Amino acid sequence: MTTAREIMTGGAECIGENETLELAARKMKDLDVGSLPICGEDNRLKGMVTDRDIVIKVLAGGRDPREVKAGELGEGKPVTIGADDSVEEAIKTMQSHQVRRLPVIDGHELIGMLSQADVARNYPEDRVGELVEFISY
């Protein structure tokens, strides 16, 4: 059984819950990513922020990204996957929550991100289309 830990992208960087969305946007640009985990002062995952969140919820709403804190967009309990959970479990989680990226947690520590692309690279070639369809449905 292949686990999330084995195929994830390690070294995920967080945006602090009290840091601005302007900083989050700059970090996304520098890292060439479209989302960042939001981490609290206690180093626990508080949510996720996407580039789309910044545009739709902040800019289009007339708010200033230099004033809005990342923690304001961390809504509800973040969807995660355990480091030792199977890839099949990750696929089910992605499908049921309609997400393409999952923070990978070991205990309470964020250790990486598992993306749809990570899964596809490690999925049987003849089933990749099925995977994309399941997650993107």
Q: What angle do CA 51, 16, 106 make, to 5 degrees?
A: 95
The whole-angstrom separation of Cα 136 and Cα 26 is 27
Give the total number of structural domains in the chain: 1
Task: Indicate the length of the chain as a whole number.
Answer: 137
* Tens place of pLDDT per residue across the chain (137 aa): 889 999 999 988 999 999 999 999 999 999 998 889 999 888 788 999 999 999 999 999 999 999 999 999 877 788 999 999 999 899 899 989 888 889 999 988 899 999 988 988 887 766 666 666 655 55
pLDDT score for 134: 59
Query: Cβ distance 61 to 90 under 8 Å?
Result: no
The whole-angstrom separation of Cα 114 and Cα 48 is 13
- Domain residues for the domain of 132 are 4-136
Provide the terminal-to-terminal Cα distance of the chain, rounded to the nearest Å.
25
Going by their DSSP bridges, the two strands 15-16 and 35-39 should be labelled as: parallel
Query: Cβ distance 28 to 12 under 8 Å?
Result: no
The whole-angstrom separation of Cα 8 and Cα 135 is 17
Range list of H helices, 14-127: 21-31, 51-53, 87-97, 116-121
CATH number of the domain enclosing 34: 3.10.580.10
Residues 6+ apart with CB under 8 A from 29: none
Query: Cβ distance 94 to 116 under 8 Å?
Result: yes
